[in-house]
Amino acid sequence: MALDFIKKVFTFGRSKPAEEAPRPEEEQTAPGPQEAADLPLATDPVLPEEMDTAGGPADDEEIDFEAITAAQDDPALLPPIEAIGDLGMVPLSLLEAEAEAGTQEAPLDPETLDAAVPIAEDDLDAMAQAPLSPAQEEAQPAPATEALEPEAAVHVPPAEQAVAETADEAPALSDAAPADTLDAAKAETFGATEAGEAEASTPDDESAAALAASPALPKGFAARSEAVEEVVAVQQKRNWFQRLRDGLSRTSSQLTGQITALFTKRKLDDDTLQDLEDLLIQADLGMETALRITDTLASERYGRDVTGEDVSRIMADEITKVLTPVAKPLTLDLSHKPHVILVVGVNGTGKTTTIGKLAAKLSGAGLKVMLAAGDTFRAAAIEQLKIWAERTKSHIVATKLGADAAGLAYEAFEEARRQKSDVLIIDTAGRLQNRTELMAELEKIVRVLGKLDPDAPHTVLQTLDATTGQNALNQVEIFRNVAGVNGLIMTKLDGTARGGILVAISAKHKLPVYFIGVGEGIDDLEPFEARDFARAIAGTGA
Ligand SMILES: Nc1nc2c(ncn2[C@@H]2O[C@H](COP(=O)(O)OP(=O)(O)OP(=O)(O)O)[C@@H](O)[C@H]2O)c(=O)[nH]1
């Protein structure tokens, strides 16, 4: 039911113009980068084609920007923050009913705009020191895990619960492991720096392994768990590789088909090498990798017969070499409480969906996760994230449509600290990398988070849509410079013929690639593995 509803919300959100936060035309303000950072409402992250249909003020409708700007010094105007814990979650049925009745937020009126002004950064400094007002105290949600012993509430991954449920004699895990063991297990699970530089390949597998290895677990359970895990892991690995190959089949079949045609009844000479290089570049693999492949092929087989399989094997090996240094686990520094992950990227690249998938992995492994609905331009984006929060049993902090995203991020960080969340994941509005004023707004979000912790955001993840092709190279360049992107997730690798672009991006930017998305479902996010990916692109066996 939940999945159906999410699909409904996507359709509903994208087709209902009234849900887009109205913002004035860019030409009216044409701010420089710094001014723009303080005028998020004067900017528009939606694509030009979306702007045509976006709801908002009529062309001749005036917005009082002076009043908005003047009001920004008053922190009392900070829009109310909605923190939804497990216990205070908006019931799905209510959201569903709202969606069906079309009662989601209407376009902002001038009063709402007044309430949505950005917070001056000096005020944020003051807020960082200030105690909560009585109204804020009252507005605090009851911590969702308040009634439970906090560590006991987070440490049983669903996989382990399932094992326990099917084995009647298995004792309850929640009584078994002391808090420090659990902290260590959590830290280890995600390669947390708290627990040293432990390599964490797949969070789910490692969380199970960490718990199974815990000396506090009852005897017998670990052995049974390990056996089950082993069978499940082998099966999952097989399924995953098949799915990856299926997803990348358009990329690989196009490439291998052309390679086979090229090498039929031809010896390897300069002309065939040049043709091969052209093919590899057209397949988005990039000049550097194309040359690596042709050089290796030439050194092994020049002047001899070459088959398509020879080329595929060399291609898989060379691509693996390019990808291995960037295929890293996402390292969380759990000493931060929370480790802050900011998710950025161009419109529609899959930020919100990826956040949902990440939250599922993290909370499934026993971490306490908070989400922040920082895409304040689209009502549907906020609703979408609320649904992901409910599905993944994460807390969520959201605010009004059109509110200042930097202010929301700041408030969410404070709330996550209060609730002692392990991880805070902040969604942001999609923006094209060539929209200077929107990129300046992103810069502001990063700056504001740094006021609470100079190291925050600890991870800045950029989502890239695999179907974009070469433009993704430029997206990384600019988001990296502006927002300090230090990790990538490539989405929509299912069914694209342009999966090769991830190789070109890795060769050029050398940023870690943590996960890849191969579908819209909650489980369609997998740790990035160099060899698997290379073989799937080259069309060679598992
Ligand atoms: N096939 C496929 N679809 C995906 C994947 N990841 C996300 N999507 C879909 O892509 C669309 C856009 O995803 P969102 O998560 O809304 O993207 P976003 O970047 O948050 O979008 P904006 O808020 O508009 O910037 C949705 O329909 C998702 O279901 C993926 O790995 N594969």
Q: Is 202 labelled as part of a ligand binding site?
A: no
DSSP code string of 64-125: -HHHHHHGGG-GGGPPPPEEE-SSSPPPHHHHHHHHHHT-SPPPPPHHHHHHTPPPPHHHHH
DSSP run (H or E) holding 440: helix 436-452
State which residues of the chain have pLDDT below 50. Answer: 1-118, 127, 131-225
Distance from C-alpha of 492 to C-alpha of 515, rounded to nearest angstrom: 12
Tokens of 327: 């295929």
Contact 24 CB / ligand 1 (< 6 Å): no
- Extract the tokens encoding 289: 């990798």
Burial class (CB in 10 A: 0-12, 13-18, 19+), 506: buried
Does 491 sit in the ligand 1 pocket, CB within 6 Å? Answer: yes
Contacts for 124-130: CB closer than 8 Å, 24+ residues apart? 124/407, 124/410, 124/448, 124/451, 125/451, 126/75, 127/75, 127/410, 127/414, 128/414, 128/451, 128/452
This prediction's pTM: 0.64
Closest alpha carbon to 376 in 332, 441, 295, 282: 441
- Residue 402 assigned ligand-binding role: no
Query: What pLDDT shows up at residue 233?
Result: 59
- Assess contact for 105 and 379: CB atoms under 8 A: yes
| CB 13 less than 6 A from any atom of ligand 1 | no
Ligand 1 centroid, distance to 175 Cα (angstroms) = 40
- The pLDDT value recorded for residue 232 is 56
CA 465 to ligand 1 center in whole angstroms: 8
Q: How many helices (H) and strands (E) does the chain have?
A: 25, 9
Residue 481 to residue 149: CA distance in whole angstroms: 43
Q: pLDDT, tens digit, for every residue of 471-530?
A: 999 999 999 999 999 999 999 988 777 889 999 999 999 999 999 998 899 989 989 999
How far apart (Å, rounded) are the C-alpha atoms in residues 370 and 419?
A: 9
Give residues with Cβ within 8 angstroms of 147, minimum separation 6. Answer: none
What residues pair up with 527 in beta bridges, in sequence order?
515
Q: What is the pLDDT of residue 411?
A: 95
How remote is the CA of residue 118 from the centroid of ligand 1, in Å?
27
Residue 58 amino acid letter: A
Cβ contact 320:506 at 8 Å: no
Q: What is the model's pLDDT at position 108?
A: 37
| Cis peptide bond N-terminal to 457, omega within 30 | yes
Per-residue pLDDT, 165: 34
Contacts of 477 (CB under 8 A, 6+ apart): 433, 509
- Rounded distance, CA 397 to CA 395, Å? 7
Residue 20 C-beta-side C-alpha neighbours within 13 Å = 21
CA-angle at 158, arms to 157 and 161, nearest 5°: 95
Q: pLDDT, tens digit, for every residue of 211-241?
A: 444 334 333 333 444 555 565 555 566 677 7
- Specify the ligand 1 atom closest to the Cα of 384: 16
Atom of ligand 1 nearest to the CA of 381: 23
Residue 322 is labelled as binding a ligand: no
C-beta of 352 in contact with ligand 1 (< 6 A): yes
DSSP annotation of 378: B
Task: Say yes or no: ipTM exceeds 0.95.
Answer: yes
Which atom of ligand 1 is the closest one to the Cα of 378? Answer: 23
CB 22 less than 6 A from any atom of ligand 1: no
> Judging by DSSP bridges, how do beta strands 525-527 and 513-517 pair with one another?
antiparallel
